[in-house]
Amino acid sequence: MASSTGDRSQAVRNRLRAKVLTLDSMNPRVQRVEYAVRGPIVQRALELEQELRQGVKKPFTEVIRANIGDAQAMGQRPITFLRQVLALCVNPDLLSSPNFPDDAKKRAERILQACGGHSLGAYSVSSGIQLIREDVARYIERRDGGIPADPNNVFLSTGASDAIVTVLKLLVAGEGHTRTGVLIPIPQYPLYSATLAELGAVHVDYYLTRSAPGRWTWPSFTVHCAKARDHCRPRALCVINPGVPPWLTRPCCLPRTPGQVQTRECIEAVIRFAFEERLFLLADEVYQDNVYAAGSQFHSFKKVLMEMGPPYAGQQELASFHSTSKGYMGECGFRGGYVEVVNMDAAVQQQMLKLMSVRLCPPVPGQALLDLVVSPPAPTDPSFAQFQAEKQAVLAELAAKAKLTEQVFNEAPGISCNPVQGAMYSFPRVQLPPRAVERAQELGLAPDMFFCLRLLEETGICVVPGSGFGQREGTYHFRMTILHTPLEKLRLLLEKLSRFPAQFTLEYS
């Protein structure tokens, strides 16, 4: 009897059973999430790197990552003052060292005094360290010419991305035809489409058209919003400024000339449209330090909104985002950022704080770094001269890279590229022959995905297809960062890349 029972028990243990979690049983919304910046092409790039390390022969000797705006991974050196203060905060024993300037020590002591237990390793309150939120509010006031900013409306975050996701979570509601729709600029940053897919919301693509030099109209913008009401409820409008570069010489999206830095006139029109359509505004302004083109100037949505006066200033709801990952800082890994909310319902703002509390707090080292970005050395401080020199050198080199990128691509057959007025990317358009499009379709790939995969396999250059960001039907693009340092390294990359379309076209002609 005992033996029979034991046999049955062993049979149960040996029996194969289905997994609890499978593709059929998992959350279907997660399967709909796509994130082109770190998608299949990047996975293939990792495989190629492994193959090169194993001695597999390739037509290239290294994989060149041009898919993501990670400045320091591309060779940019950290800003000295930022790292000095962070080093002192992480290891306060260094405060007695003569190797650090006095102003860096004072800043570190000030930050540590505001931390729980005077340590960067302690949790902060969920909205972020109060001292740093106050410094962020003062920064916003200086940036916007004295327009007040309330630190109680400032929430620190894990980069700008986490704050964007939090606000989108507040906005998403409804089922079926009442599902929340969010208007997203095309080309977009894939964070938005990925988050909306995960949340079960609807992303509504929009485009702007240039009617005359420096003037913009929104026929498709308005039409898309109206059409969206047939299957969802548009509740929010996202704007990225400076943004992902446009893909066509004419028309383009959002900026005033072929580029991607919006004029005040354009911002006012966006605000009026959002007000009239009762849309919550999300202003992604993480590239506000990255403006290169002569005559271009960053205008924050908060500043323009407040200066427009009633009824807009007192009623239009707005969330604006900034990050330490971009700009001249390039401190992606520290994950520092903030969101300022304007005219948000007080009860909803409490719900936002509750949502942030679930994740306890943003990384405290990232909060400390953000504090240094929003309140850098003053002209009277010992570190000021070096800080300014390093900051201006980074921005000047980025401006030179933007100009070089436009120049090299526009001299190459089969590629056209708009001027890069701001941000950190170019978004060139490529001409693909019909046979290449047919071959891509046979493989079940988007044509520009096929192009980018071939580019990677034959040159080692990893860029992201435009289909991952959105583009007009029948057009093909890729996005690449302009961050590679030094400038000559970027030049070699651009020249190598610009030769490939002609080879590709010849093969499929």
Residue ranges and CATH numbers for the domains of the chain are 29-75+387-507 (3.90.1150.10), 80-116 (1.10.287.1970), 123-374 (3.40.640.10)
Judged against a pLDDT cut of 80, whether residue 182 lies above it is answered with: yes
Q: Which residues share a beta bridge with 291?
A: 422
The DSSP code sequence of 125-154 is -TT--HHHHHHHHHHHHHHTTT----GGGE
Separation CA 370–CA 360 (nearest Å)? 18
Q: Which residues pair with 69 in a beta bridge?
A: none
**What helix, strand, coil percent values describe the chain, rounded to 5?**
50, 15, 40
pLDDT reading at 467 higher than 90: no
Confidence of residue 81 (pLDDT cuts 50, 70, 90): very high
Q: How many residues does the chain have?
A: 509
For 463, other C-beta atoms within 10 Å of its C-beta total 27
CB of 225 closer than 8 Å to CB of 277: yes
- C-alpha dihedral sign at 383, 385, 387, 388: positive
d(Cα 415, Cα 407) in Å, to the nearest integer? Answer: 11
Rg (CA), the chain: 25
- Find tokens 């498709």 and name the residue: 220
Q: Are 342 and 317 in contact (CB under 8 A)?
A: yes
Confidence tier at 78 by pLDDT (50, 70, 90): very high
Say whether pLDDT at 469 is over 90: no
- Between CA 189 and CA 469 the distance in angstroms is 6
Gap between the Cα atoms of 83 and 376, Å rounded: 12
pLDDT at 229: 85
Asked if pLDDT for residue 172 goes beyond 80, the answer is yes
d(CA 385, CA 255): 34
The two three-digit tokens of residue 492, written as one number: 């070699």
Residues 295-323 have a mean pLDDT of 92
Mean pLDDT of 443-453: 89
Average pLDDT over every residue of 77-99: 95
pLDDT score of 260: 63
Phi-psi region of 280 (alpha: psi -120 to 50; beta: other; left: phi over 0): beta
pLDDT confidence of residue 2: 56
Q: What angle do CA 177, 237, 27 make, to 5 degrees?
A: 50
At 392, phi and psi to the nearest 5?
-65, -35
Q: Is the peptide bond before 251 cis (omega within 30 degrees of 0)?
A: yes
Q: Do 88 and 78 meet the contact criterion of CB atoms below 8 Å apart?
A: no
439-461: string of b/e by CB count within 10 Å (b at 16+)?
bbeeeebbbbbbbbbbbbeebbb
Rounded Cα gap, residues 458 and 373, in angstroms: 41
**The token pair that represents 272 in the structure block:** 């009026």
What is the structure's pLDDT at 249?
34
Residue 213 is predicted with a pLDDT of 40
Query: What span, in angstroms and rounded, lies between the C-alpha atoms of 187 and 260?
Result: 11
- Least confident interval from 35-39, 181-185, 363-367: 35-39
* Residue labelled with tokens 């190629």: 48
Tokens of 8: 């049955």
* pLDDT exceeds 90 at position 118: yes
What one-letter code names the amino acid at 490? L
Do 300 and 270 form a contact (C-beta atoms < 8 A)? no
- Measured at the CA of 295, the angle between CA 252 and CA 421, to 5 degrees, comes to 45
Positive or negative torsion for Cα 142, 147, 151, 156: negative
DSSP 422: B
Q: Region 261-275: what's the mean pLDDT? A: 86
For the entire predicted model, the pTM comes to: 0.83
Strands (E) located in 30-179: 64-65, 154-158
